[in-house]
Chains A and B, each alone.
Chain A
Amino acid sequence: MNPIYQKITGEDIEKLVEICDERRVVAGAEVGEDYCHDELSGTRSRPEVLVRPKSTAEVSAVMRFAAARKIPVTPRGQGTGLVGGAVPLCGGILLDLSSMNRILGLDETNMTLTLEPGVLLMDVAKYVEERGFFYPPDPGEKTATIGGNISTNAGGMRAVKYGVTRDYVRGVEAVLPSGEIVEFGGKVVKNSSGYSLKDLIVGSEGTLAIVTRAVLRLLPLPKCRVSLLIPFPDLVTAIETVPKVIRAASTPTAVEFMEREVILAAEKFLLRKFPDHSADAYLLLTFDGAEKAEVETACRAAAETCIACGAPDAFISDTPERNESLWAARGAFLEAIKASTTEMDECDVVVPRGHVAELVLFTRELQKRYGVRIRSFGHAGDGNLHIYVLRDELNAEEWTRTLSAVFEELYAKARELRGQVSGEHGIGFAKKNYFAETLSPAALRLLSGIKKTFDPDNLLNPSKVIPGA
């Protein structure tokens, strides 16, 4: 269904320079290598031209021009994605939105923050927390843009209690593939006015529209935060305890599981020791709230539940220094695993909470059966696992074969457990085929229909998400 796209000519470049200025239009071999890939997936492709708009009007003008000329456009934030979503597979224009990075206003009465898509997640957190507010979504990659987070409906560690990015996007301004500027949602808390196009844009990975402005919902900043590091004799006992903890205590903000091997890799990577080495597996729970007493009660209930389920003890982390010693390690897991091998690929499946242990056991079985290292860690509280298959010393042919066989089995298992292909990283290009396998013909027809309605000429981020697009 891919149409024949127009190649970009010298004349096109001149037109684009007219829209933006020449410093923000980079063509051909001048485009840096960094713009041809993202953080992880093996997907690579060079854009014909890189454009860095600074305003909604410029995005609209570029899109209008591209639509008239039938040139594909791929929006991009910081390129920290993991599934090739921001890679310009069909060449054309790569629209780098990272210069649109202004915070436009904090509305203290309605508790919203209006901002442009290029603002970094870490800057959002800093800005609102300094003013006593809280933006709960907390994906590990803090240098991602908020636009990228909206595109993938990013989740993160606090999803158990607070939900995901979609739950905190009140409104968006976006540019359609035609160049028209639209606004969906707003500062309202409730909205039953027809189909929620705002929610459709969130998580659409830049295939339906280009988000140029967002209104985020904020909460009051919790004053008190305590983490518990809980050692367990083995991972299965740890993970099977999670549903009991969530039922016993007031909901934890985060429930992460981690294994000794991954902790050791993080220690080696950070040149810093983890505070405990007594166990093979750990749960890391965080509780937050407005009052110290409330948080302490929740911690106590959780610690008692874990000890009753076989944990030898529970360790308390209640100061910035202690939290840093735990979360620095947790934050480094991805990079540490990456540094321990030659190449890797990851699977970000999500399964119902009750099936996490089963899926982790299955990865161990695959590890043995295929003779390949598989590492995992993740959000035990919401069932979203990050499973990494490591290449190590495999040659190219062995690697491709093993990886695809292992992934095939992993996704099949996730389907059997009634899970989903991606918990928070998105489908992009890398997971498209696995996504296709989960779709019924009716679901595929609906998805394709939605894409066609927004983007009849398939110009916006082509070859992503939707099978056949």
Chain B
Amino acid sequence: MKIAVCIKQVPGTAQVEIDPETGTLKRDGASTKMNPFDLYAIETAMRIKEAAGAELTAVTMGPPQAEAVLREAFMMGADRAVLLSDRRFGGADVLATGYTLSQGLRAAGNFDLIVCGRQTTDGDTAQVGAELAEFLGIPHVTNVCAICEIAQDAIVADIDWPLQTARCRLPFPCLITVDKNIFEPRLPSFKLKLATAGQPITRIGMDDLPDKNEKHYGLSGSPTRVKRIFPPEAKGERIVWSGNDAPADKLHQLLTAHKFLQQL
């Protein structure tokens, strides 16, 4: 089996600067890390690899320095790594990102299973995984919270829905996006770090993709126009009940109204 895991390099902290002209995140100079949700994707792929035997390829799209997250994927057990990097990919919205990844994955090989994290911590859209699957024309499910079975021709997984858990069987090739806490991600291994230090990374630019029309990539391939990015205002909403207001009952009502509690 061949598994691809899509990962992304994101800012190391929540305090990031925004380019006022393009409305995109300034990535220069700031500390970076692997998107925390992608750690669950790698862990899930590694568990499947360990259980069923597979070759695991980590794929990322980004500037050359995004190689760092691919090196980290090696330290967690990935066998191959692919970096989709081209100036013309820059400024992509979710649609162009999904499309570029789909083209990159076509160029990189035939994968039976693609695993993505639920969302990134910088864009927070949770759309790229699903769009990627649509561009590839393969079935997908999102918010996977457990892997139940890896069969010869399909994977059986549980999906976390607001009020229930759905179990589904997806024939290969397919794509899943995994939820936080599906597994506790393993830590990068020092021994693998040493062993994979010189391991080559496949670089794919626009000219290596099946579709070479640059209007489909980067800013020009992005129908989204970002007018303004700004941090959400903190609500700072406080409710104070005194002892005479039956606070326990009120708290129970509030938690029920917000669906933190439910009647079984």
Contact = CB atoms under 8 A, between A and B. Distances in A.
Interface of A: 228-229, 272-276, 300, 303, 307, 312-319, 321-322, 325-326
21 contacts: A273-B183, A275-B185, A275-B186, A300-B190, A303-B190, A307-B190, A312-B191, A313-B189, A313-B191, A314-B189, A314-B190, A314-B191, A315-B190, A316-B75, A316-B187, A316-B188, A316-B190, A319-B34, A319-B36, A325-B184, A326-B187
Interface string B158-194: 0000000000000000000000010111111111010
A317 B75 CA distance: 12
Contacts of A272: 181, 184
Contacts of B252: none
A275 to B, nearest CB: 5
A450 to B, nearest CB: 47
Contacts of A318: 188
Contacts of A317: 187
B189 to A, nearest CB: 5
B190 A313 contact: yes
A326 B184 CA distance: 11
Interface in B1-46: 12, 33-34, 36, 39
A321 B180 CA distance: 12
Nearest to A326: B187
A315 B184 CA distance: 14
Contacts of B190: 228, 300, 303, 307, 313-316
Given A228-B190, A313-B190, A314-B190, A273 B34 contact: no
Contacts of B181: 272
Interface of B: 12, 33-34, 36, 39, 75, 181, 183-191, 193
A303 B193 CA distance: 11
A321 to B, nearest CB: 5
Majority DSSP secondary structure for residues of A touching B: mixed
Given A316-B75, A319-B36, A321-B39, A307 B187 contact: no
Contact of B187 (A273, A300, A322): A322
Contacts of B36: 319, 321
Contacts of B183: 273
A319 B33 contact: yes
Nearest to B183: A273
A184 B41 CA distance: 57
Nearest to A316: B188
B83 to A, nearest CB: 20
A273 B186 CA distance: 10
B75 A307 contact: no
A316 B39 contact: no
Given A303-B190, A315-B186, A316-B187, 4 more contacts: A315-B189, A319-B33, A322-B185, A322-B187
A463 B209 CA distance: 80
Contact of A275 (B34, B75, B187): B187
Contacts of A275: 184-187
Nearest to A228: B190
Contacts of A322: 185, 187
A316 B190 CA distance: 7
Contacts of B185: 275, 322, 325
A152 B184 CA distance: 37
Contacts of A313: 189-191
A272 B181 CA distance: 8
Nearest to A329: B184
B6 to A, nearest CB: 18
A363 B33 CA distance: 42
Contact of A315 (B34, B39, B187): B187
Contacts of B186: 275-276, 315
A276 B189 CA distance: 11
Contacts of B75: 316
Nearest to A272: B184
Nearest to A314: B190
Given A273-B184, A321-B39, A307 B193 contact: no
Contacts of B189: 313-316
A317 B184 CA distance: 13
A307 B191 contact: yes
Contacts of B184: 272-275, 325
Contacts of B187: 229, 275-276, 315-317, 322, 326
A258 to B, nearest CB: 15
A275 B34 CA distance: 17
A315 B185 CA distance: 12
A311 to B, nearest CB: 9
A275 B46 CA distance: 13
Contacts of A229: 187
Contacts of A300: 190
Contacts of A307: 190-191
A409 to B, nearest CB: 38
A275 B39 CA distance: 11
A463 to B, nearest CB: 37
A307 B191 CA distance: 9
A272 B180 CA distance: 12
Contact of B188 (A273, A274, A315, A321): A315
A316 B193 contact: yes
Nearest to B185: A275
